Amino acid sequence: MRTSTFATTVLAVYLLPTTNVAATSPVTSILFSSSFGLAGQNETFDYVIVGGGTSGLTTAARLSANGSFSVAIIEAGGFYEVDAGNISTVPAYESNYLNAPPTIDWKIYTTNQSQLDGRSILYSQGKTLGGSSARNGMAYQRGTASSYDMWANLVGDSSYRFEELLPYFKKSVQFSPANVSLRGGPPVLYNESGFSSTGGPLQVSYWNYYVPVSEYIRSGLESLGFQENGQIQNGELLGFSQFPATLQQESQLRDSAQTSFLNTAIATSSGPLVYPNTLAKQILFDGKKATGVRVNTAGWEYILSAKQEVILAAGPFHSPQLLMVSGVGPEETLQQLDIPVVSALPGVGQNMLDNAGYGTLYPVNAVSQHRLWNNETYAMEAQNEFYNSQAGPLTAFASNYILWEIMPNSTTVNDTTRSALSAMFAPDWPDLEVIFNAAGPAVNTTGDFISVGIVILKSTSMGSVSINSSDTADRPLVDVNWFDTLSDQQLGIQGLRRARLFANATGVLAGAELIPGPAVQTDEEILDWIKTAASPSHHAAGTCKMGLANDTSAVVDSHGCVMGGISGLRVVDISTWPLLPPSGAPVATVYAIAEKLADDVLSGYKCV
């Protein structure tokens, strides 16, 4: 593909917008030298946190703000703004980093998926300060109220009900309404009661650009009877919405856990000490009490000891991996690798939940984001607008709308499957998230395009994470197992038919479907295509599942404390989730759960 030289090189050396961002982030530069731990030297802290991603930095910021605790953060990566260049902070270029360099990505490939034509699939996970909040599509939305109520029932703890979690959602976010004069388009419908004027430090707002093709998407959805939903932050999802994003409203740059929580913690408190480019090798135990972490920085091995707790926030793949190499996990796996068993917990690495999906592609007679990659004049104009007024195409990723739908019975899965799904999921739990993507790069030609992406939200397939080595430098074994169940396959088949309906309803198509193409029509043909096209939404969860004491598949209790007689060890990341709320993008819930579990620590709940 002939790409824009401007889009791929100039921005890397061009200064980013210089605006007054004091209100959005106390520190906008790289951290002070006193913020870093000394590599190679044994140290002792109250809390040692493994993983400087979304949940880890949220937890670290809240604990260090107390003023009474010393906190260390162990992060395998560095700063994404340095390791991936400053264009990594520009929303429109998010798609550049789906296949990111190993400086900011773990480069994990799944095991061969027999149900997906034997494919081994790249599953990107952020290896950088900020974690996947530095790598994601930036969409900020919460799950349905009923999904959190289900969570509360599964773990026997009413504090996970939506009305109890809502204060934690509000706590993490400083919300700014859309800048209508710069954005254009119709008014944004939202309910301000979902946010608090005292929340933060994470910035959430709207792009200063209404992608022109979005108006056709909106009119098409309205012609099909869908309504705009302004309650997506208040526990209701069905319908379509102009979704907000994790970005700084004034500068229109990405706001990650690093630029928000970590920078704020460093600027406003004694702050945690950060150990970047440092790999956690093993959790150390005295009997069954976690006492610290053995780490490696550039070949130097040393120990960071914890007087209070070791807190895992290494994500859905590396938290279970670290538990297993440290002797906590399925006994058979540990014995096969001659790892001394500290506690036999069969659920470690099991119960992996995910939202797989796929994307279609259509040419359109309207301006889309693809021009940033195939039209150098357009790209230069967009750069100038971004630099001068923090507006225009570079502030936006995808289109402006997402749809959540329960498919009508007349076009959906068979009665047996629908009945089974109804028994498993709440009545307002969507079947699908539909992402209207006008971004690029995606095609080898000039022109404008949209993709209608389908994400399966009622997935019943479960994957797993395991190990074949006692060394965390080796990649964990990730078996995603997407589309393994009949219901997932039926939802996927009907999802493509819905995508085609939505695309045609826009009235702006400029030609035949490009992906998968008009030759793919029957159920069998669609399923065969899905096997070649299914891809991750990068929302894996559940591999250190939260549950009741009598649940043999559970790994942690409702406070994140590791079971099996272990003390001094807590998990706070997405691996603890017993279900995956149907928001699509889970980052809002990642922040909220980390806030809640940090509050448990500060309230004196100890893992004993």
pLDDT in tens, 307-335: 999 999 999 999 999 999 999 999 999 99
- pLDDT at site 87: 86
pLDDT at 146: 98
Q: How confident is the model at residue 20 (pLDDT cuts 50, 70, 90)?
A: very low
**Residue 506 confidence (pLDDT):** 98
Strands, DSSP E only, in 418-572?
A: 432-437, 449-456, 464-466, 477-479, 535-536, 569-571
Q: Label residue 133 by pLDDT band (50, 70, 90).
A: very high
pLDDT at residue 288, rounded to an integer: 99
Token pair recorded at residue 124: 């990107």
Pairing type for strands 449-456 and 362-363 reads: antiparallel
pLDDT tier for residue 18 given thresholds of 50, 70 and 90: very low
pLDDT at position 381 over 90: yes
- pTM value? 0.94
User: What is residue 399's predicted lDDT score, i.e. its pLDDT?
Assistant: 86
pLDDT at 443: 57
Confidence band of 300 (pLDDT split at 50, 70, 90): very high
| pLDDT tens sequence across 219-278 | 999 999 999 999 999 999 999 999 999 999 999 999 999 999 999 999 987 889 999 999
Angle, helices 486-505 vs 213-223, to 10°: value is 110
Task: Answer yes or no: is pLDDT of 98 > 90.
Answer: no
Residue 417 banded pLDDT, cuts 50, 70, 90: confident
More confident residue, 581 or 94: 581
* Distance, CA of 161 to CA of 152 (rounded, Å): 5
pLDDT band, residue 117 (cuts 50/70/90): very high
Q: Which residue has the higher pLDDT, 141 or 1?
A: 141
Both structure tokens of 110: 């799944």
pLDDT at 598 over 80: yes
Q: Band of the pLDDT at 442, cuts 50, 70, 90? A: low
Instruction: Give the whole-angstrom CA distance, residue 235 versus residue 583.
Output: 9
| Residues catalogued as catalytic | 539
Element (H, E) at 108: strand 108-109
What is the gyration radius of the CA atoms in the chain, in angstroms? 23
Say which range, 32-41, 64-73, 590-599, has the weakest mean pLDDT.
32-41
Indicate the angle between helix axes 162-172 and 145-155, nearest 10 degrees: 110
Per the CB < 8 A criterion, the answer to whether 386 and 19 are in contact is no
Give the model's pLDDT for residue 266: 92
pLDDT digits (tens, 9 = 90+) for 455-492: 999 999 999 999 999 999 999 999 999 999 999 999 99
The mean of the pLDDT values for the chain is 92
Residue 566 pLDDT exceeds 90:
yes
Chain-centre distance for alpha carbon 278: 22
The torsion region of residue 214 among left (phi > 0), alpha (psi -120 to 50) and beta comes to alpha
Query: Residue 27 pLDDT > 50, yes or no?
Result: no
User: Domain coordinates of the chain in residue numbers?
Assistant: 5-18+34-602
Name the band, by pLDDT with cuts 50, 70 and 90, for residue 556.
very high
Sorting pLDDT into bands at 50, 70 and 90, what band is 444? low
Q: For the segment 521-533, what is each residue's pLDDT rounded down to a tens digit?
A: 999 999 999 999 9
pLDDT-derived band at 439, boundaries 50, 70, 90: low
pLDDT beyond 50 at 339: yes
| Local structure of residue 85 (DSSP, 8 states) | -
410 is annotated as contributing to ligand binding: no
CATH code for residues 5-18+34-602: 3.50.50.60
Residue 547 has pLDDT above 50, yes or no: yes
The arithmetic mean of pLDDT across residues 367-387, rounded, is 93
Residue 411 above 90 pLDDT?
no
- Of 432, 430, 450, nearest to 440 (Cα)? 450
Task: Measure the CA–CA gap between 224 and 598, rounded to whole angstroms.
Answer: 44
Asked whether residue 54 is marked as a ligand-binding residue, the answer is yes
pLDDT (tens digit per residue) in 39-83: 999 999 999 999 999 999 999 999 999 899 999 999 999 999 999
